[in-house]
Amino acid sequence: MNEIERALMEHPDVADAVLHAEQSLDGRQFTIAFAAIDADRLSAGKSRRLQAETDRRVAQWRRAFDQAYRHDVDSLAPSFVGWTSNFTNKPIPEPDMVEWLDCTIQRIRDLGARRILEVGCGVGLLVEKLAPACDVYCGTDLSPVAVHRLRAFAQSKPELRHVEFLEREAADFSGLAPHSFDAVVLNSVVQYFPGIEYLHRVLEQAVDLVAPGGHIFVGDVRNLELLPAFHREVQSAKVPPGVADERLERKIFLSIAQERELVIDPDYFRSISESVPRISGAEILLKRGSSYELTRFRYDVVLCADREAASACNESNSLAPRTEDWTSEGRPLATDPMAAAYLQHLSMELGNVLRAQFSEAQLPDVVIALNQRDFAEIVQASSIAPANPGNDETIEAQV
């Protein structure tokens, strides 16, 4: 064990560490320090990150609105601001966005809902198109900037003056009457939820607001089954020619391990009626449209509110979902955004710890904190000797 590895393992969150050296394309030697984070410490740490991540999301929306209305403070109309391609880091072309929106609008209209609750209404893209034909339309959003802008926009349009906007987080349904909506819509928003447990809590409450025979529309869900393919294509499009296959594979692996959004296996929705009996079924729908990025790796879900179960299964309210319900054949059914956020935060913290102890010349180029499963996989894939070779069995037993 070298000094860097020893220093990392003195941190109370670190269960193992390894230093890996390799050569860059220009011949420069660089090093990566990988740290395996204790499972219990990771669980506690990601809980502490929840509020910080919520504040970060609000700040992101504020920046997005500032960008959208920087040149015309009087312009309140919804726009496609913030929709950036993962492949090019440039705004997605507007024709692609218009087609994406039109397909989404039609899919929601097909539900025949006249009373809609939209959770996470954002810049108001759906509000502008759907609300004029609705008897009741209520939009909620976490961002005070979004809610303020949309209220002003709706008041400027006679066909939108019946729309109500509420500033609140997605899981807050207080004051909304049971069975008062034909549809609850969550479009292109669940990827920003802190975890699958949070989404489950939202759906449990949302279905109580849906009238028997109504629906919950969950749109633009990122597909966990296609996450490896997605990151492979993104990384392959970005890496310069000549990068070794091993390094490309590691970049793909780390992109998946460090995924900061909630990405969900369709099997989660297919099995949701087992723990939320008021949901009688789920229809998984392929995205429509020609845009590769907006359709290839995402899907829509229509959840049905059972006409009989909606009024007959109040006794099932105590039915608590088990963690096992969100796994299939031993694999998770969703990513863990809060864990990824905490690991990124801890990577920076560990880098600061090393900078306080070592000279610039001794420091690794980057420190990457991983959960113990991912650490074990990347050590094995990269043929790196762990800091404590005798601990391999312990690592495998803990993940």
* Neighbour count for residue 389 (Cβ, 10 Å): 8
* Single-letter amino acid code for the residue at 392: D
The mean pLDDT values, 10 residues at a time, for the chain of 399 residues are 93 95 78 95 86 74 65 68 87 93 97 97 94 98 87 94 95 96 97 92 96 96 96 88 80 93 96 93 93 91 77 45 60 92 94 96 95 92 55 31
pLDDT at 123 (0 to 100): 87
pLDDT at 68 (0 to 100): 61
pLDDT at 395 (0 to 100): 28
94, with CB counted inside 10 A (0-12, 13-18, 19+), is exposed
* Neighbour count for residue 70 (Cβ, 10 Å): 9
Cα dist. 346→273, 328, 352, 365 in Å?
37, 29, 10, 16
How many CA atoms does the CB half-sphere of 26 hold within 13 Å?
A: 2
pLDDT at 69 (0 to 100): 57
End-to-end CA distance of the chain: 23
The answer to whether 316 and 277 are in contact (CB under 8 A) is yes
pLDDT at 308 (0 to 100): 59
d(CA 111, CA 382): 50
Please spell the DSSP secondary structure of 60-113, one letter per residue: HHHHHHHHHTSS-TT--S---TT-B-TTTSSBPPHHHHHHHHHHHHHHHHTTT-
pLDDT at 63 (0 to 100): 72
pLDDT at 48 (0 to 100): 81
The answer to whether 221 and 249 are in contact (CB under 8 A) is no
